[in-house]
Amino acid sequence: MVLIFCLALSLITTLKAQVVSIPDANFKTYLVGNAVINTNGDTAIQVSEALAFIGTINCANLSIADLTGIEAFVNLTELDCSLNQLSSLDVSQNTNLTTLHCYINQLSSLDVNQNTSLTTLHCSSNQLSNLDVSQNMNLTDLGCSSNQLSSLDVSQNMNLTDLSCFSNQLSSLDVSQNTSLTTLYCSSNQLSSLDVNQNVSLKYLRCSFNQLSSLDLSQNTSLAQLYCNSNLLSSLDLSQNTNLTGLYCHSNQLSSLDLSQNLSLIWLYCYSNQLNNLDLSQNISLGHLRCFSNQLSSLGLSQNTGLIWLDCSSNQLSSLDVKNGNNTTIYNLNATSNPNLSCIQVDDSAYSAYNWVFIDASASFNANCNLSSNTNVINQEINLIAYPNPTTKAIALDFGKVYQEINIQVTNLTGQTILNERLENVPNIILELEGALGVYPIKIQTEEGIAILKVIKE
């Protein structure tokens, strides 16, 4: 018994005396200077200190060229060695790693087959031509962008929620097994097709700068942001994507774009297409619109009261209505290169002339242009009375006369339609406003035109 105790004591003493080899001076300086790791405060890291350490090593951006010595930290859970000068990295002994950040280095290979506990792997901006993550079944976040990958198999990573693999050389990408995906960034590859029908949880999709000629998003009803610009798309059906707030579909071959169901849309970049019509009357939350370099002949924005940025230059506009009652919030308007545009309808012509200079010399601002052909203009002949306003729940609408047909649409502040009703041969109606307190835009359309009012529920 005494002999066994002595041997054990000798082993412990030997381990304490053994020093981890750390040839890189910058890496050693970091480790020695970390009091949580270098518990005895000397000028070296003992094997016993490395074995005892459980936690995170963050040695990012320290000009480290060699991470030899990291293998001694077998209980390490998180490693951030990004923004260094590493040409190789051996983490085969760090089997407890859950997070590995090694992006922006000079790695040409990376073996993570032994790191089966990994949930986060960020290895972007290296020189990787191959990446095997088949053993990393717990992986939820994979960032491998800006490498030289020609293939990527993520079929075993069924827990993956975030995948960023843009700027590689991928000609195909199968994400059919990754049904938990919420974020997919695969822009700047060589993809000619992309099937996301199984990714019903997808919220953010960026597939720009590929060779996609079609994109089926009918199952992606949670989609909030879509970047599909710079592809070969000739059509794009977004009727099921009612949660969409940002759409970037510019630089394609689109001849039409139906956004009538995308009531939450705030950002719309649809420039450099072949659009000859763009109806945004339903998109009252729209703030940023870039639709330049199309074939638009008219553009009605009288209902887009949240607009702050507009670029509709290089079209064929002869009619432009931005009289939305809130022109002072528009800090940029560009309507140049529309030779047929002579009058731009606005709230205040003097204000617009002073603040918006990017128009052709042949165009001018006016509060009352002749825009009778523009179906988006509110018809002022609808003698609509709404009372009480503000209201606690119900609002009475008096149309002033009997119309053959009246369509009423009520939306909330998020742009969601909460009521859609069609009436015939009635002079008035009482609406019950169900929902939270706030402002409710109501759109009334008759055979004579359109009227919009905002009702306050308090």
> Does this model's pTM top 0.85?
no
Per-residue confidence (pLDDT) for residue 97, from 0 to 100: 98
Whether 23 is in a domain gets the answer: yes
Can you give the CATH number for the domain in which 25 is found?
3.80.10.10
Whether 257 is in a domain gets the answer: no
| Residue ranges in the chain modelled with pLDDT below 50 | 1-16, 372-380
Which residue's entry shows tokens 């960023």?
164
Whether 134 is in a domain gets the answer: no
If you average pLDDT over every residue of the chain, what do you get? 90
pLDDT tens digits for range 242-289 = 999 999 999 999 999 999 999 999 999 999 999 999 999 999 999 999
Amino acid found at 67:
L
Total domain count, the chain: 2
Whether 80 is in a domain gets the answer: yes
Residue 378 CA to residue 400 CA, distance in Å, equals 16
Per-residue confidence (pLDDT) for residue 390, from 0 to 100: 82
Q: Which domain holds residue 20?
A: 12-128
**In 3D, which of 109, 63, 117, 118 has the Cα closest to residue 89?**
109
Whether 450 is in a domain gets the answer: yes
The C-alpha angle 354, 318, 373, rounded to 5 degrees, equals 115
Per-residue confidence (pLDDT) for residue 439, from 0 to 100: 74
Q: Which of 67, 97, 128 marks a domain boundary? A: 128
Per-residue confidence (pLDDT) for residue 375, from 0 to 100: 34
Question: Could you give the C-alpha distances from 118 to 77, 266, 311, in angstroms and in order?
Answer: 9, 37, 46
DSSP track, 77-131: -EEE--SS--S----TT-TT--EEE--SS--S----TT-TT-SEEE--SS--S--
Can you give the CATH number for the domain in which 431 is found?
2.60.40.3080
Residue 36 CA to residue 367 CA, distance in Å, equals 70
Q: Which of 90, 105, 128 marks a domain boundary? A: 128
Residue 228 CA to residue 236 CA, distance in Å, equals 10
Whether 287 is in a domain gets the answer: no
Per-residue confidence (pLDDT) for residue 73, from 0 to 100: 97
Per-residue confidence (pLDDT) for residue 415, from 0 to 100: 57
Per-residue confidence (pLDDT) for residue 453, from 0 to 100: 73
The C-alpha angle 415, 421, 427, rounded to 5 degrees, equals 120
Q: Where are the alpha helices (DSSP H) in 160-252?
A: none
Q: Which of 128, 147, 169 marks a domain boundary? A: 128
Per-residue confidence (pLDDT) for residue 377, from 0 to 100: 35
* DSSP, res 46: B
Whether 152 is in a domain gets the answer: no
Per-residue confidence (pLDDT) for residue 112, from 0 to 100: 98
Whether 340 is in a domain gets the answer: no
Residue 158 CA to residue 156 CA, distance in Å, equals 6
Helix (H, G, I), strand (E, B) or coil at 455: strand
